[in-house]
Structure 1
């Protein structure tokens, strides 16, 4: 670390000299196809339980959501409001909730923001902040840089989706971090027997349940959508929550071994702690966790010019995902694409393809994993 404490001297991060031996020990024995369990539903339950154990936070949180709705206004074809709710027992979280005009129930999107080492805005990266003019310039700058100037939440609401986007811990309204402070936050949560990544995963899972519980939402047609770290959060939420019927993950999928190479951003620590579940890699690779969502519809989009992920890592992950969906007779429900002229971004043409795909898979009620319909969570919710 530099004397000023700002950035590491070596931004690639140090790997121990014996890291090849540690790498060789990662055989991912609980992956579908490697696990001795041959019944897929039994494997899903076991794999999900393994992930849950490594979140280092309570598996069940029955805290009532107790939502409070404020700052209501009209957008272009939809209503905007802020909602404050309890995603865990540890505190209240504020999110933006957009609802199309007309009669519901509507299909819905849990929209998950990225990391980007910018913490003053969170939900505002994806939803135009009608409630706070002081954040508008920063939000527009972010949309210009990564989304060709489009606010994804507003676009989806205009296309007929109810949209929920909330701040993750350390962004927006939730004690914004700095680049260096996020590592201290992660370390202190470890000391407290918890995990920054685990807390984020639990909040996203609960947010999916809250969105599905709203009377304005068709609980059978809830999708998780995200870019960058939000893309990671999207497939992770689909793996952990049966309330997610489909997911779109943009610019975040790779094999772990292929990602952890000298020069990769992951080796900095810092942002990695938001996506690092200690010890989980001894059982499951990243695409193995995403595969818990099979055979639900999933779309993975990436850019060949994205320097955060090696081409080998993306190919490895996509191949593992395709093998799982194929084994379930559901190869047509998984779509993996790498755009040759795109970097770490979600340009308009890619957005339009993703939203077209989403419309096609949510046009009719999606089949959840296993038998029966998607349950609507009750008992945790104060009537909207």
Structure 2
């Protein structure tokens, strides 16, 4: 094997480990070679995951007590301390009065490490207004972040990329602009590696995550803390009705949305499009998550020993929640989506709040946030907020 051969092309001899663990001798037949980095004993590793802290499995029967315990467990695995005492110190630039809203750039301190820039849209009229924390996707496209969801009035050089992204995934719409037109304050910030905090080359992600781990921290944990703080910043704006804030995202942004709802009491409702599954059902040969890279923005080391993916999202119950997936979305197999939906609905049902959760698979759609999905999400937000 060439030492310089890319990791993704290598095969690994892993069957020997199974034989050694069982006390047997290693034969040629047992020394199985698998294509890619998933070990041949992965079924045994998955069987060991019982998610003992999940609601219904945990010995904690009071939901509020369970929420405190589950949230504390998630926060412990973020590996990034809370940042509540860091002043936001917002700076506003790029102000522009459009037809439906006032647009401006805002730069804030979400953590003590660096300043972060985002787009802030405010409808015309008398507030306070309901608000949406809008969370961008991954998509292996790093020159644009917030620009994927808000038309970049401040930077013509990014407009072509942003419009192409909107055309591909959002039926040509800028979701943030649509929300502002409907009367919502919208905040959309760059995650580390995108837009003004990038661009990050796709192959650099894994090294970035590794360096976070070497430093006793976590890339996914940083993103979670930043999103948690962004919700707090939005809730503190005079123009915003702090009782009516939603988190909304597509793809990685969907993950960020339900995660923020789980970690922040500032989020009154959450809408997540194309990122929900059961962990075991996702961890199958060929799944994109097993490649690493983008997965490290959503991977909290050791958390799976306690909670499944929908278990974490359930911390937000019984607040209103919406989960959409495309039936043709190859990133999230149908079985995993259904397992997650069943778990989520069971929690809201146990709290006599099943009418507050909406789960839906769009059989004709893939990994997109298409116009018809958007319209349903917008109407749902109008109802719950």
Structure-1-length-normalised TM-score: 0.92
Structure 1 runs of 4+ aligned residues shifted over 6 Å read: 1-7
In the other structure, the counterpart of 2:362 is 339
- Aligned with residue 103 of structure 2, among 42, 64, 80: 80
- Aligned with residue 178 of structure 1, among 201, 205, 212: 201
Shift, 1:17, TM fit: 2.1
Preserved CA contact (<8 Å) 2:83 2:111: no
In the other structure, the counterpart of 1:349 is 372
Shift, 1:64, TM fit: 0.1
Preserved CA contact (<8 Å) 1:81 1:98: yes
Please state whether the residue corresponding to 2:110 is helix, strand or coil: strand
Which structure 2 segments of 5+ residues have no match? 12-34
Structure-2-length-normalised TM-score: 0.92
Change (3 A) 1:223 1:7: farther
Shift, 1:6, TM fit: 7.5
Separation in structure 1 between the aligned mates of residue 256 and residue 43 of structure 2, nearest angstrom: 28
2:100 equivalent to 1:66: no
Residues 234-383 of structure 1: pairs in structure 2 closer than 5 A:
234-362=257-385
2:74 equivalent to 1:51: yes
In the other structure, the counterpart of 1:111 is 134
- Aligned with residue 24 of structure 1, among 22, 47, 68: 47
- Aligned with residue 137 of structure 1, among 114, 139, 160: 160
Which structure 1 segments of 5+ residues have no match? 363-384
Q: Alpha-carbon deviations, 1:248-292, whole Å to 9, x = none?
A: 000000000000100100010000000000000000000000000
In the other structure, the counterpart of 1:9 is 9
Separation in structure 1 between the aligned mates of residue 99 and residue 324 of structure 2, nearest angstrom: 28
Residues 25-44 of structure 1: pairs in structure 2 closer than 5 A:
25-44=48-67
Separation in structure 1 between the aligned mates of residue 283 and residue 79 of structure 2, nearest angstrom: 23
In the other structure, the counterpart of 1:122 is 145
2:177 equivalent to 1:154: yes
Separation in structure 2 between the aligned mates of residue 142 and residue 54 of structure 1, nearest angstrom: 33
The worse-fitting range, judged by mean Cα deviation, of 7-16 and 217-226 is: 7-16
Separation in structure 1 between the aligned mates of residue 258 and residue 142 of structure 2, nearest angstrom: 22
Separation in structure 1 between the aligned mates of residue 6 and residue 271 of structure 2, nearest angstrom: 34
Shift, 1:45, TM fit: 0.1
Shift, 1:10, TM fit: 6.6
Shift, 1:177, TM fit: 0.8
Please state whether the residue corresponding to 2:376 is helix, strand or coil: helix
Separation in structure 2 between the aligned mates of residue 236 and residue 349 of structure 1, nearest angstrom: 24
The worse-fitting range, judged by mean Cα deviation, of 194-203 and 174-183 is: 174-183
Preserved CA contact (<8 Å) 1:7 1:180: no
Shift, 1:84, TM fit: 0.2
Preserved CA contact (<8 Å) 1:247 1:299: yes
Shift, 1:8, TM fit: 2.6
Q: Which has the larger radius of gyration?
A: 2
Preserved CA contact (<8 Å) 1:111 1:153: yes
